[in-house]
Amino acid sequence: MAFQDNLVQIISDPNLSPKQKSNYLALAAEASLPYLSISIAVNQAKEAGIICDMFEGHAPFKPRYVLPDYVKFLQQGSQYLELSPVQDFDEALNALTIIYHHVPSVTSIPVYLGQLDDILLPYTDGIDAESIYRKLKLFWIMLDRTLSDAFMHVNIGPSDNIICRTILRIDAELKQIAPNLTFMYDPDITPDELLQIAASNICECSKPHIANYPIHANAYDGQGFGIVSCYNSLPLAGGANTLVRLNLKQVALKALNIEDFFANTLPHYCQLTYELIESRARFLHEESNFFNSFLVKEGLIEESRFAPMFGIYGMAEAVNILQGNPEITEDSLDKPSQYYGHNQAANKLGHRISKALDTIIKSTPVTYGYHGRALLHSQGGISLDKDVTPGVRIPYGSEPNPIAHIQALAEHHQYYTSGISDILTIDETVKSNPQAMFQLCKGALSLGFREFTANVASNDLVRVTGYMIKLSDIAAFKQQGSRTNTTGLGAEAAANTGMLNRKPRVVAQELSPNYAK
Amino acid sequence: MQNKLATVSQIQPFSCVDGPGSRLVIFLQGCNYNCKNCHNPHTIDLCDHCGDCVPTCPTQALTLVTTEGTSRIDWDSEPCTQCDTCLSVCPKQSSPKTRQYSVEDLLVLIHNQRHFINGITISGGEASLQLAFIIELFKAIKSNKELSHLTCMLDTNGSLSINGWHKLLPYLDSAMIDLKAWQEETHRYITGRDHHRVFQSLRLLAEHGKLYEVRLLHIPGISDFDSEIEAVATYLKQLPNSVRVKLNAFQHHGVTGEARQWGTCSEEQMKLLASALSQRGVGNLVLPSIYL
């Protein structure tokens, strides 16, 4: 389609809001520029769908994810935003509301709203619990309505405090798709009763996501980290300058056999991935002038704390291809015993691939990285992915029972510093028994799960790849569009990838008819 | 004595509906009731290894193995696609897909899942028919340092004798009992058995603080909980407050024979029964979360 025809189509789309149209127009403009200079080999791998730049744009002018130090921001105020240091709770919420609109990301709005209990607790003196509740509830509604995008992410925990508890209460009450929420769990700090509340919330609204705090904290220095967007763990006061991902399925298809995969194909395509990472990061850091922004000048982010994310996906297909398994069909779904996620040899091969990637990531320097390195990431998929499973997940519809599911994947989690999300779909009977969710979560974390994420079957609010959507919104989407940017992706993802076909695991004998298919 | 085997029809590694928290549930094959409304009729009878199912299996997962004049069905779970053709052709409506487990086998299984579960539940069929095995298993769990925190529960029709209960009680945390009907003749019509022992079991467990849940299956027009509401409510009220009264709604899933003609229980009918009970002071009611 001619460039201008494309613009006309965006402008006249009846299902997009003016703001959504502006975003698409900007993307189209950026995409009309020539691509950064990359080698022929990288370009070929990109064209062939082996390496993917996540459609971040031809000339990146903002980092993919930015995690400002909001504590510092409130303490010092901002010259650029003409704000004095914050004195009380209301001023804190107001100042945050303002700065959020100045924090860019790949989605053009912030993906990180901060560790809100650390940020707000210093300003709670003298305010009663009910007032905190009312103020935070309005704040929560504001976030969902003005920054409508479920990649926007709040962190709470691992300590037990009033902000953390109030946010959990409000989140379960409002059941909004935004903001996304991560609860940090540390067995030494977090009381079981608080984790139980979080687990009950998951049964209510599939949120929060539970992060294994000690594992994440150990991966980063004392300045800390945050979980942003769809479960990406990154250095605080820094972020991800870019995310380039490698399609392991395609890499496996290029390999002659398992040994060729490890000796040649995988290292080769990792090398090309690094080339793309380097050229994208170089443009951002050296040409775009992003690092002249007030966020850097006022010390809210540091250039040295940005790292590229080295993403992978299609682990399941890669393993099945390398093992010579036929493609999973309707017939093999019931008993996919030789397949990834079900078979020990297959699972072990998967672990071996993750370990090999880890070795490559830890030994390959990058110009703009965290301690000179990229961060390995199990990528949660995008709406265009067809016939390839996100990250290291078990393909939709073929998942074993939740415990076997966790046991099959736990070994991978140690390697994915910048995040890995394995979404467990739990039968709706868990709703009346949140203690079961709690125990499953504890079991997963004790087995080394970096993050625990669960969807409860039948909840309207569910997770697609990493962000939240409402099933009812998807149904309505085709007719009327949606106020929320991510719902469009969700509808597309639902149509393309079959991810909503995830099978709930019904466990009741007497109540089992709904999974008898 | 250490080599007791149980005939297991199914193991469910993660269940949210068979007791508190998450539970590993072991379903034992065989039942002494013959409920018209049984949702899993293939778990009632033990397979007699007649071999009728063997040639009907589309994936040859079943074979008849004869050693020293005795024939046994051998079920291979690998090729099995769970199409259940074998169940539909069985003259006894019995499942050939059972497995023999020793206490040691189950301990290994439970050990692998121990971080994820709050306990184990033995269900059926009618679990108490294999009481000696259950006692041995529970005893082993309670005396194993890494497993002793797991609660051991029994899901039963309540037909176990008082003597049997006394043998089990030292190792049992609590039990769930189905009360199939209020009136003797209704109970006999539905199950083929009387219900003296069910009431005895309920009383005994309540006295020992080991009754977790009474389950009433509401079959409109067949079970008599609604027509006998006063007596039912009076009875339930004298149970300890901690006992959950779980109302289940009759559905057709898995049901064969005349019960297929019975009407299913709708959400409205269920709520009607629940409100009739709570109006009469019965607390701790648990209603189904889904009606399908």
List, as ranges, residues 129-168 from B with C-beta within 8 Å of A. none
Per-residue pLDDT of chain B (292 residues), as tens digits, is 456 899 999 898 998 889 999 999 999 999 999 999 888 888 899 998 999 999 999 989 999 998 888 888 999 888 887 788 898 889 888 889 899 999 999 999 999 999 999 999 999 889 999 999 999 999 999 999 999 999 999 999 999 999 999 999 999 999 999 999 999 999 999 999 999 999 999 999 999 999 999 999 999 999 999 999 999 999 999 999 999 999 988 887 778 889 989 998 999 999 999 999 999 999 999 988 666 5
Asked if B14 reaches chain A (Cβ–Cβ under 8 Å), the answer is yes
pLDDT < 50 positions in chain A: 460-468, 470-472, 474, 477-479, 481-485, 498-517
List of chain A residues whose C-beta atoms are within 8 Å of the C-beta of residue B41: none
pLDDT score, position A514:
29
For residue B240, is the peptide bond before it cis, meaning its omega torsion is within 30 degrees of 0? no
What pLDDT score does A516 carry? 29
Q: Which of B14, B123, B288 lies closest to A401 in CB terms? A: B14
- Position A326 scores a pLDDT of 80
State how far residue A466 is from chain B, nearest Cα, in angstroms.
24
Whether residue A439 and residue B15 make contact (CB cut-off 8 A), yes or no, is no
Q: How many CB pairs below 8 A link A and B? A: 103
Write out chain B residues lying below 8 Å of A442, CB-based: 115
Q: Which of B8, B10, B17, B215 to mutate to test the interface with A (most CBs of A within 10 A)?
A: B17
| Spacing of C-alpha B277 from chain mean position | 25
B-interface mutation test, from A511, A514, A515, most B Cβ less than 10 A away: A511
- Interchain contact, B290 vs A431, CB within 8 Å: no
Note whether A447 contacts B: Cβ–Cβ < 8 A.
Answer: yes
DSSP string of A438-487, one letter each residue: HHHHHHHHHTT-SEEEEEETT-SEEEETTEEEEHHHHHHHHHH--SSHHH
Q: In chain A, what residues touch B40 (CB-CB under 8 Å)?
A: 509
The per-residue pLDDT for range A488-500, each reduced to its tens digit, is 555 555 555 544 4
Q: Which residue in B8, B9, B10, B14 has the most chain A C-beta atoms within 10 A of its own C-beta, making it the best mutation to test that interface? A: B14
Report in angstroms the alpha-carbon separations of B182 from A88, B202, B211: 64, 13, 18
Amino acid at B282: V
On whether any CB of chain A is under 8 Å from the CB of B81, the answer is yes
**Residue A404 in contact with partner chain B when CB distance is under 8 A:** yes
A448 near B CB under 8 A:
no
Interface test with B, best of A196, A212, A438, A439 (most B CBs within 10 A): A439
Interface check for A330 against chain B (CB to CB < 8 A): the answer is: no
Flag if A429 and B16 touch (Cβ within 8 Å).
Answer: yes
| CA-based nearest distance A350→chain B, Å | 21
CA–CA gap between residue A32 and residue A127 (Å, rounded): 53
Looking at chain A, which residue has its C-alpha nearest residue B291?
A511
pTM over 0.90? The answer is no
* pLDDT value at residue A54: 85
- A505/B118 Cβ within 8 A: no
Query: Which of A333, A431, A441, A507 is the mutation pick for testing B, counting most B CBs within 10 A?
Result: A507
Tell me, yes or no, if A331 comes closer than 8 A to chain B by beta carbon: yes
Note the pLDDT of residue A231: 86
Contacts of A443 in chain B (CB under 8 A): 115-117
Strands A180-185 and A225-228: unpaired
Asked if the C-beta of B21 comes within 8 angstroms of chain A's C-beta atoms, the answer is: yes
CA-based nearest distance A16→chain B, Å: 37
Cβ distance of A429 and B17 shorter than 8 Å = yes
Nearest Cα neighbor of A97 from A122, A118, A120, A79 is A120
Q: Do A514 and B292 touch (CB under 8 A)?
A: yes
How far is the C-alpha of B265 from the C-alpha of B247, rounded, in Å? 11
Cβ neighbors of A173 (< 8 A, separation 6 or more) are A137
From the list B14, B115, B248, the residue facing A447 with the nearest CB is B115
Q: Helix or strand or coil: residue B56?
A: helix
The span from the CA of A21 to the CA of A481, in Å, is 12
**Residue at A167: amino acid letter:** I
The alpha carbon of residue A440 is apart from the nearest alpha carbon of chain B, in Å, by 5
The answer to whether A451 and A420 have CB atoms below 8 angstroms apart is yes
Task: Read off the pLDDT of residues A41-97 as tens digits, 9 standing for 90 and up.
Answer: 999 999 999 999 888 888 999 999 999 999 999 999 999 999 999 999 999 999 999
How close is the nearest chain A Cα to the Cα of B64, in Å? Answer: 23
| Six-digit token string for A58 | 């031809």
Three-state secondary structure call for residue B33: coil
Q: Is A261 helix (H, G, I), strand (E, B) or coil?
A: helix
| Contact criterion met (CB < 8 Å) for B27 and A509 | yes
